Structure 1
Amino acid sequence: MPSPDDLLAIERDLRSYGDIPKIAVTPASAHDLLDLLSFTLDAEKPIITTVMGGEFRYARTFLPFFGSETVYCHIGTPTAEGQYDIRELEQLQELLAYR
């Protein structure tokens, strides 16, 4: 998992290649996940952030609430560990949405 400063440098570098950088990381701890959420919240928009693996899978559901533009899901067979089925994600985000 890159440090907060490294995440900023990665974002800056990726923006030189295109309009919407995608940064996928594997948090090793809840503190790493908090760093990713804080980075996502404060990052220049638009941006895509996501987690890899199953341990912090749940973060995929709420990164959009912090400003990530996209969540990668599957519609039948996962292509990566931790991916949600699109219907699952829609239900979870509906439950999490503040109304």
Structure 2
Amino acid sequence: RGEVREVRDAGLMAAALFATYQDRTLYLMGAYHPDQGRSGAMPALMWDAMARAQREGSRLFDFEGSMIEGVAQFFRKFGAHPVPYLQIRKNQLPLLVRWMQELRT
């Protein structure tokens, strides 16, 4: 189930997209109006979303992480902690292209 939540006053202040499945709620993306950067709208939206997720039975609120320090710091203020994800890539380029890539490095 997906849901867009928003904070409004005279206009849109902040909005975020969440997805819920099984006992997990994922924060997928969010944005705020440039004039509302220090209004507290985004933190209020996040707190409300976390409280609602808990009331509805979510046992985990997943921020999906970020490598952007400012975003990671924002998430940590809510108690988030980094969880490493491993990634495996297979180079399926033709042999000649792979060889040329190796020469460049």
Alignment TM class, shorter chain as reference: 0.3 to 0.5
TM-score (normalizing by structure 1)? 0.39
TM-score (normalizing by structure 2)? 0.38
1 or 2, which has the higher strand percentage? Answer: 2
